[in-house]
Amino acid sequence: MNVILGISAAPGIGIGPAFVLPEEKERIIPHHHIPKEDVAKEWKRFDDAVEVVQNEIKTHLAELDQENLQRVIFETYQLMLSDPVFLGEVKDALEQELFNIEHTLEIKVEEYAQRLRNSGNDYLAERSRDIEDVFGKVLNELLDFHPFDIEQVPDGVVIVAHAMKTSDTVILSKRKIAGLALTEGGVSSHVAILAKSFGIPAVVGLEDIAHQVASNDQLIIDGTLGEAIIQPDQQTLDEYHSKIREEQKYIQALQQFRDKPAQTNDGTRFYLYANIGTPEEAQIALEQGADGIGLFRTEFLFMSRAHNNTVSEETQFEAYKQVLQIMGDKPVTIRTLDAGGDKLLSSKDIPQLNEKNPLMGLRAIRLSLFYPQVLRTQLRALYRASVYGNLRIMLPLITDLAQIDTIRGIARGVQMSLREDNIPFREDVPIGIMIETAAAALTADCLAPHSDFFSLGTNDLTQYTLGVDRENPAVAPLYNEFHLAVLRMIKHTINSAREANIPLSVCGEMAGRKESAIILAGMGVRSLSMSPKQIPVIKETLSQFTISELTNISTRPLF
């Protein structure tokens, strides 16, 4: 028996025979000059390859239900393949550099994927795999290169691999997969998101797992603890089978909490909201008993345009309208674009930036203020959608009062233009801010009177406060949300919101974990926003305590 430690990507326990995905054969890309008269022929080959991949995606889409989250992935891939700006860049490079189309495409894809990897944003860094995946299929078609077919994976197995391509995740909805054991991949990857959605335990960060396990080896995946157990003995198997039975009973018991309000044992009311990244996830949030949407990340809209980030007002309006209509009168908090110039914004409106430290650079609200037309377009779409539900607008990475004042001025200008165009909108849409830096937390008492609400982004707050990159394995153990400095900043923010009489919620990962939700509740937080699947879990957790018990627990780590 061998136990390997990794990182939890999706909770739960899975037991089954291992199915080791074969390592991809090396794709050898030819690299040679072409005569100018061959450009048209090379471009025709590219067009034909794109058409083949588009048809494959259409086939996958036809097999998926409308509500299936994987539809969003494949629809995004369709947009990437037909994006005129990126295709124009590839064609320009082909005509100017006069290299074969395979080499030209490989270079352009890698340029863009590298910008995403250097973004300083977990979600967007993971999207680099999507770019490489979909255009990798085009390269395979150009080269007549046919790697392993994921459809060969049988029911009941634990998939073991160095990494899993996003397009291969279609198998997660087609087979009864017992678990995932991967070396690469993050908690923000599509693989992790879909594993959580389908209830498949997943562990990533398992060093060289594909070489430590053979197909048909018995494997236990503990997605809660982040462990893989290879060839467990009978006693361990019995223990884990017992844990699975207990887990199934627990999941069944959670059903009673879905339609109940979140409250403590003595009746103190809490509000549990959902974090989502696509309109389709709003329906899942509703089914899990969410009181609303606490964070709608709008980056997906810009990612769906891949290389052309001038997302139209109409496209944004339809997406926001859809979420608001799904949620009815429940509040929907939509965050303005949280991206950087090095990430995905490379258009005539926003020139490509090459920053040495993107995490500290021109990102989030700083970028929106530097290129205000992007913000104006987004605000117009948001205000237009506001008549369809209970909208709240949230501003990321605010560090200074002047930023709030400037944005409110831009919002007033947007409202004026809508009136002139005779377009209806709600004038009383609250505008709140994210508290996710030490600067914002320490001056929360100054920012509160100028904000309609606060949302604590504990992921970045912890990272910025401790100076720790949680994605860097060398320093990840230093990432500690319970560090005294982080907790005191959270407490000061809570007190500042209370004194200014404005709502406060927490939308970082702390909100969706039992142990940290207990601490936050005891510190005075009454609104928590999390992954939709965690809502019944946190409802059940809060119901086990009185408010005085939670308060007593939370005071211990603060002093």
Please tell me the predicted confidence (pLDDT) of residue 558.
55
Q: Which of 188, 138, 171, 121 is nearest to 29 (CA)?
A: 138
The CB-side HSE value for 43 (13 A sphere, CA atoms) comes to: 15
Q: Which residues are catalytic?
A: 190, 507
The CA-atom distances, in angstroms, between 123 and each of 5, 18, 77, 119, 150 are: 23, 29, 16, 9, 25
**Which residues are registered as beta bridge partners of 270?**
262
Please tell me the predicted confidence (pLDDT) of residue 310.
61
Q: Which of 306, 308, 377, 303 is nearest to 336 (CA)?
A: 377
Contact yes or no for 17/72 (Cβ under 8 A): no
Please tell me the predicted confidence (pLDDT) of residue 500.
97
**Residue entry with tokens 């980056």:** 299
Rounded CA-CA distance 113/102 in Å is: 16
2-22+150-252 and 38-143 agree in CATH topology: no
Q: What is the CATH number of domain 38-143?
A: 1.10.274.10
pLDDT in tens, the chain (559 residues): 899 999 888 889 999 999 998 877 777 889 999 999 999 999 999 999 999 999 988 887 887 776 566 677 777 788 888 878 788 889 999 999 999 999 999 998 888 787 767 665 666 666 677 788 889 889 988 988 877 777 778 888 999 998 887 667 667 766 789 999 998 876 656 677 778 767 889 999 898 899 999 999 999 999 989 999 999 999 999 999 999 999 888 888 888 898 899 999 999 999 999 998 888 789 889 989 999 999 998 876 775 544 444 678 998 999 999 999 999 999 999 999 887 643 444 445 555 566 666 667 777 888 888 888 889 999 999 999 999 999 999 999 999 999 999 999 999 999 999 999 999 999 999 999 999 999 999 999 999 999 999 999 998 899 889 988 765 667 767 888 899 999 999 999 999 999 999 999 999 889 988 999 999 999 999 999 998 888 999 999 999 999 999 999 888 655 4
Calculated CA dihedral for residues 307, 311, 315, 317, nearest 10 degrees? 150
Q: What is the DSSP letter of 209?
A: H
Q: Structure tokens of 39?
A: 């450009």
Please tell me the predicted confidence (pLDDT) of residue 278.
80
What is the distance of C-alpha 61 from the center of its chain? 22
Residue type for position 101? I
Q: Is domain 259-554 annotated with CATH 3.10.20.30? A: no
Rounded CA-CA distance 438/445 in Å is: 13
Rounded CA-CA distance 129/161 in Å is: 15
Boundaries of every domain in the chain: 2-22+150-252, 38-143, 259-554
**Which residues are registered as beta bridge partners of 443?**
none
Q: Structure tokens of 31?
A: 């690299």
Q: What angle do helix axes 101-117 and 84-97 make, rounded to 10 degrees?
A: 130
For 68-104, give the DSSP string: -THHHHHHHHHHHHH-HHHHHHHHHHHHHH-B-HHHH
Please tell me the predicted confidence (pLDDT) of residue 213.
92
Please tell me the predicted confidence (pLDDT) of residue 546.
96
pTM equals 0.69
Q: Which of 202, 207, 237, 208 is nearest to 222 (CA)?
A: 202
Q: Is domain 2-22+150-252 annotated with CATH 3.40.630.30? A: no
User: 559: how many CB neighbours lie within 10 A of its CB?
Assistant: 7
E strand residue ranges, 108-261:
158-161, 179-182, 202-204, 218-222, 227-230
**Residue 209: CB partners within 8 Å, gap ≥ 6?**
4, 6, 160, 161, 162, 181, 182, 183, 228
